[in-house]
Structure 1
Amino acid sequence: MPTGTTSGTPQVLLAHHLKQLKLPTVLREYDKVARECARDGVDHPRYLLRLIELELIDRERRTVERRIRAARFPAVKSFDTFDFAAIPGLNKMLVLELARCGYILRRENIIALGNSGTGKTHVALALGLAACQKGFSVTFTTAASLVNQLLEARDERRLLRLQRDLQAVKLLIVDELGYVPLSPTGAELLFETFSQRYERGSTIVTSNLPFEDWTSVL
């Protein structure tokens, strides 16, 4: 039997075992829920069900928070704070459909083109947040930052590892393509990143450049 099972108060032992089992929500809530169930005449199976449901909900919340931190968003934004009325040319229904993340399952890509101040980054951030909430891994970066990371990794002989990491993420968001001039080598590495992810994962790119001017960057 586990050490301490036959000695100590039940509360102390229960706290110890729940910590060992990594059930912090059950530890925090079991006494309060027990009193509520006793008051309401709830039987033991339903009492246990309530506790487990609370643990699962809290665990999912913590998991989503970890995905959001790992994504390295410059700010956490959702469509709840996006003013669709300010950009009447944007297809709201399409954007909200994309927030359901079906395109990630299909390994499709999104390109958001438009002038500065038209909400491209906000949309990209909101789609990234939706992906985190749906269980997908996300990485957010600007094109200039990503190129710098790739160049540094090449110089430090860890480029293949970085490229594998970029291939593995389910959604890569590359913001501000075309805002900062790229070196020829940097542009080649960025193009290679897009190529490696093609049909393997989804990529969102935002840019102020029309397609015909992309040859000046890539």
Structure 2
Amino acid sequence: MSPATRTGTDPAAEAAIGAACKTLGLPGIAEAAVSMAETAARQRMTYAAYLAEVLSYECDSRDDRRRVRRVKEAKFPRAKRLEDFDAAQLPDLPPATLAHLATGAWIDKGEPLVLLGDSGTGKTHLLIALGTAAAEQGRRVKYTTTAALVNELVEAADSKELSRVVNRYAKIDLLCLDEVGYVQLDTRGAELLFQIITAREERASIACASNAPFSEWGQTFTDPRLAAAVVDRLTFRGHIIDTGTESYRLKTTSRNHVPTTSST
């Protein structure tokens, strides 16, 4: 009888497969090879077809693990996905624009994205959701707040490791920078942040969210010329989305709130 049509399990073969997969770093095949072999035997698959099945399974498994790892490495503060965002709350945002951003093509071109709007209007949701989509597509993504990044850069400069940190950020495919404009930066912090922005200019994308219009960024970066330079770099060939002034969170909370009545 051809081995390809045998049924049942072979403990020695299973052990050998497990050991070989461990040595070769093939956890997907180690997980599914035996059950797939039983299926192949029932379906009378050829050796080549079975081999193609297990190798394809390993490739798919690696893609899944890579997506999970990329999202974990991004350090998002919470899970947000595009399908959970009610785009109807932003009538001025064309569906085609959001669909285009979801593909990540703008990231491959090194184009920036700026999300402007008041607190609660969905900026951070979109920032994290687009970053998550990019990470799941295999890109290297990093989320951070402006204050946290500036603190990291200051500490790196004090430790004479600034070049290493700037180079590390320069290699990220997408930098998600949240809370631009929430805190006023001193001159040193603003200049260090400008180094990161300059290092990525037209080479790697930055997506940032701010509750302040561009006209008020001078209050964050203190030096009007530096603020103008930052705005110039984050808008050139960029995508700008205004999420408005009406709180997305407040509308969602109000819609889900069910008034209660008390009996007398």
TM range (shorter): over 0.9
Which structure 2 residues correspond to residues 111-190 of structure 1 after superposition, within 5 A? 111-190=114-193
Indicate the residue corresponding to 1:22 in structure 2.
25
Residue of structure 1 aligned with 2:89, choices 86, 90, 93? 86
Mapped partners of 2:177, 2:120: distance in 1: 17
- Residue 65 of structure 1 pairs with residue 80 of structure 2: no
Give the total of aligned pairs.
211
Mapped partners of 2:145, 2:39: distance in 1: 50
- How many percent of aligned residue pairs carry the same amino acid? 37
- Residue 38 of structure 1 pairs with residue 41 of structure 2: yes
Mapped partners of 2:36, 2:12: distance in 1: 20
Moved over 6 A (4+): none
Residues 25-72 of structure 1, C-alpha deviations (whole Å, 9 max, x = no match): 111111111111222222221111111111111111111111111111
Question: What TM-score results when the alignment is normalised by the length of structure 1?
Answer: 0.92
- Residue 105 of structure 1 pairs with residue 108 of structure 2: yes
Mapped partners of 2:40, 2:136: distance in 1: 31
Which secondary structure state, in structure 1, belongs to the residue aligned with residue 176 of structure 2? strand
Residue of structure 2 aligned with 1:198, choices 197, 201, 214? 201
Question: What TM-score results when the alignment is normalised by the length of structure 2?
Answer: 0.77
1:76 positional shift: 2.3
CA RMSD, Structure 1 to Structure 2 (Å): 1.4
Which secondary structure state, in structure 2, belongs to the residue aligned with residue 116 of structure 1? coil
- Unaligned 5+ segments in structure 2 are 1-10, 222-264
Residues 161-195 of structure 1, C-alpha deviations (whole Å, 9 max, x = no match): 10000111111110010112222211111122111
Mapped partners of 1:40, 1:11: distance in 2: 20
